[in-house]
Amino acid sequence: MAEPFEPKLTAFVCNWCTYAGADLTGTSRIKYQANVRVIRLPCTGRIDFMMVLKAFARGSDGVIISGCHPNDCHYTSGNYHARRRWMVFRDLIDFVGIDLARVTFSWISAAEGAKWASLVNETTDRVRALGPYQEIGKLAAAGIE
């Protein structure tokens, strides 16, 4: 029997809040599961949601998107744009057949180190229970571009 399934998570985080919050998790030595790979962005407003789809296409089993709380964006309104896009994109993901439970959208501030740890742990556990994400891979294998 192969090794037990360990999910691969990709996290898109904003530099000013969530990345800093994750740094705080480190400084506070709060442990969490090692399945996540963080992609640093200046702001969640920078996220083109096609990147999220690409993450799934490339083998991620789950995606985390996290930025500054509404009203606190370092660039004033980037997180509002992200939130609006998420509202639309969420329905699209669902329509396309990706289980919404694989995607987590959250606000984590630079002071919320513990929240980052618990978010990663929860998401990892949840995605592990869902199993590997295979849909796009299956389509590709069947020769569908």
Partner 1 sequence: MSRVGVFVCHCGENIAGTVDVAAVAQAALAMPGVVAALDYKYMCSDPGQTMLKKLIADERLDGVVVAACSPRMHEPTFRRTTLESGLNPFLCEMANLREHCSWVHDKGPATTAKAIDLVRLQVEKVKRNRALAPIRVPITKKALVLGGGIAGIQAALDIANAGNPVLLVERSPSIGGHMSQLSETFPTLDCSQCILTPRMVEVARHPQITLLTYAELEKLEGFIGNFRATIRRKARKIDESLCNGCGVCQQKCPVKKIPDAFNEGLANRSAIYVPFAQAVPNKPVIDVASCTFFKTSKCKACEKLCPTQAIRFDQEDKIEVHEVGALVLATGYRTMPVANFPEYGYGQLTDVIDGMKFERLASASGPTGGAIKRPSDGKAPQHVVFIACAGSRDRAKGVPYCSKICCMYTAKHAMLYRHKVHGGKATVFYMDVRAAGKSYDEFVRRAIEVDGVSYIRGRVSRVYEEDGQLVVKGVDTLLGGEPVEIRADMVVLATAVEAQDDAEKLAQTLHVSYDPYHFFAEAHPKLRPVETNTAGIFLAGACQAPRDIPETVAQASGAAAKVCGLFSQPELTREPVVAVVDRQAPPLFSSCTGCLLCKDACPYQAISEEAIKNRAGEVIKTVAQVNPGLCQGCGTCVALCRTKAIDLQGFSNQQLFAELMCI
Residues binding partner 1 (CB under 8 A): 6, 8, 10, 15, 19-20, 22-27, 29-34, 37-43, 45-49, 51, 54-55, 58-60, 73-78, 81-82, 85, 117
Rank residues 10 and 104 by Cβ distance to partner 1 and give the closer one: 10
Phi and psi at 97, nearest 5°, equal 105, 10
Rank residues 53 and 130 by Cβ distance to partner 1 and give the closer one: 53
Structure tokens at 90: 């969420």
Q: 120 with 25: CB under 8 angstroms?
A: no
* Nearest approach, Cβ of residue 27 and partner 1 (Å): 6
Residues whose CB falls within 8 Å of the CB of residue 17, separated by 6 or more in sequence, listed in order:
66, 67, 68, 69, 72, 74, 107, 108, 109, 110
* Nearest approach, Cβ of residue 31 and partner 1 (Å): 5
Name the burial class of residue 91, with classes exposed (0-12), middle (13-18) and buried (19+) by CB atoms within 10 angstroms of its CB: exposed
Rank residues 117 and 127 by Cβ distance to partner 1 and give the closer one: 117
Rank residues 114 and 130 by Cβ distance to partner 1 and give the closer one: 114
Q: What residue type is 130 in one-letter code?
A: L
* Nearest approach, Cβ of residue 94 and partner 1 (Å): 21
* Nearest approach, Cβ of residue 38 and partner 1 (Å): 6
